[in-house]
Amino acid sequence: MLHEAAVFQAIASPRRCEILRLIWAEELAAGDIHRAMPDVTFGAVSLQLRQLLDAGLVRMRAESRSRLYRARREALGAVGKMLERMWDDALWRLKLEAELEETRRGPRPQARRKKKKG
Amino acid sequence: MLHEAAVFQAIASPRRCEILRLIWAEELAAGDIHRAMPDVTFGAVSLQLRQLLDAGLVRMRAESRSRLYRARREALGAVGKMLERMWDDALWRLKLEAELEETRRGPRPQARRKKKKG
DNA sequence: TTTATAATTTAGTTTAAACTAAAATGATTG
DNA sequence: CAATCATTTTAGTTTAAACTAAATTATAAA
């Protein structure tokens, strides 16, 4: 297991958390990660990836011209579990927000109705 | 349970972690906390305490002129467990370091000897 | 070898956090 | 009430993190 202080420091940045989330379940190239966060430069993403790598929170392997990153979930231990819960909560919030939006466009149903799919 | 992002942010600072450690097992007045970290001003300590309070990581109660703080261990959940482990490790490191120091002043004993007290 | 692609690194800038010194608050004592 | 103590708050400074733009490295394709 990693030195917790380093882990806390690493995940304190929303940017690094977002990167971790992106490469939590799949391996992505640095460029893919950057495309998912177009509000910053490629350089900025690369620097954060380096920090995560130095902290031991992600793995990297070179494939042809690309460098593929993925989270070292096993190294994150309990912090990882908490990140997952946080991300799940975010999804839940989005879902909730969508439902709230729906209610704003029509009368609030008495009881939960089966949603029409689509 | 608290919003994890806020917890991560709060514990990312070594100063705030140190404060949490001080008030983990006992209630301390702001002034006591400051006396334990004389490298910063009272004002600085007070500001960090306010952050911890706003983040919901500590409780405060006023008693006479003092304000007594203590960690809300229950609110910290798994992060709290990790902090504890981190602090235990620190103690262990100190102990180890002391033993190493001892070996530098004399021949390394074959097996652990009972320490002379004082 | 030249050109293009993928990423990293560097140097300098912006931004935010932590801090200090001093002023303000609020309870307690004389 | 004034004086003191414990603490907080404010305004301004220092320091560190994140960022950008541009230069650099490394791989692959033409």
Look at B98 and A65; give whichever has higher pLDDT: A65
Q: Is the predicted pLDDT of residue B66 greater than 90, yes or no?
A: yes
Q: Which of B30, B7, B26 is nearest to B80 (CA)?
A: B7
Tokens read off for A5: 């202080």
| The pLDDT of residue A89 | 79
Q: Which residue of B has its CA nearest to A79?
A: B79
Angle, helices A4-11/A14-22, rounded to nearest 10 degrees: 90
Q: Does domain A4-104 have CATH number 1.20.140.10?
A: no
Per-residue model confidence (pLDDT) at position B85 = 87
Long-range contacts formed by B69-72: CB under 8 A, 24+ apart:
B69/B23, B69/B27, B69/B28, B69/B29, B69/B30, B69/B33, B70/B23, B70/B26, B70/B27, B70/B28, B71/B20, B71/B23, B71/B24
The residue that leads in pLDDT, B2 or B108, is: B2
User: Tokens at residue B108, please?
Assistant: 């390394």
Residue B106 pLDDT > 50: no
- Answer yes or no: are the C-beta atoms of B72 and B59 closer than 8 Å: yes
How many angstroms separate the CA atoms of B117 and B56, rounded? 42
| Interface check B58 vs A, CB under 8 A | no
Task: Name the average pLDDT for chain B.
Answer: 81
Q: How far is CA A54 from CA A46, A48, A78, B77, in A?
A: 12, 10, 20, 27
Within a 13 Å sphere around the CA of B27, how many CA atoms are in the beta-carbon half?
9
Chain A residues lying within 8 Å of B5, measured CB to CB? 14, 17, 86
Which residues make beta-bridge pairs with B60?
A: B69
Contact flag A4-B78 (C-beta cutoff 8 Å): no
Q: Which residue is nearest to nucleotide D5 (CA to C1')?
A: B65
- SS3 of B111, please? coil
Digitized pLDDT (tens) for each residue of chain A, 118 residues in all:
567 788 888 998 999 999 999 999 999 999 999 999 999 999 999 999 999 999 999 999 999 999 999 999 999 888 898 899 888 877 776 766 666 555 554 433 322 222 222 2
Contact B4/A78, CB-based, under 8 Å? no
* Partner-chain contact B8 A12, CB within 8 Å: yes
**Interchain CB contact of A14 with B (< 8 Å):** yes
Cβ separation A8–B12 shorter than 8 A? yes
**Any bridge partners for residue B67, and if so which?**
B62
State whether the beta carbon of A40 lies below 7 angstroms from any atom of strand D: yes
Cα maximum dimension of chain A: 58
Q: Is residue B17's pLDDT more than 80?
A: yes
Please report, rounded to a whole number, the percentage of residues in chain B having pLDDT higher than 90: 55
The pLDDT score that the predictor gives to residue A24 is 96
Residue B64: is its pLDDT beyond 90?
Answer: yes
Q: Which chain A residues are Cβ-neighbours of B83 within 8 angstroms?
A: 4
What's residue A114's pLDDT?
A: 26
Confidence class for position B103, pLDDT limits 50, 70, 90: low
Band of the pLDDT at B35, cuts 50, 70, 90? very high
Provide the pLDDT for residue A103: 54
Nearest chain A alpha carbon to B76: A82
Q: Which residue carries 């029509």 as its tokens? A: A106
Strand order in the sheet with A66-71: A28-29, A66-71, A58-63
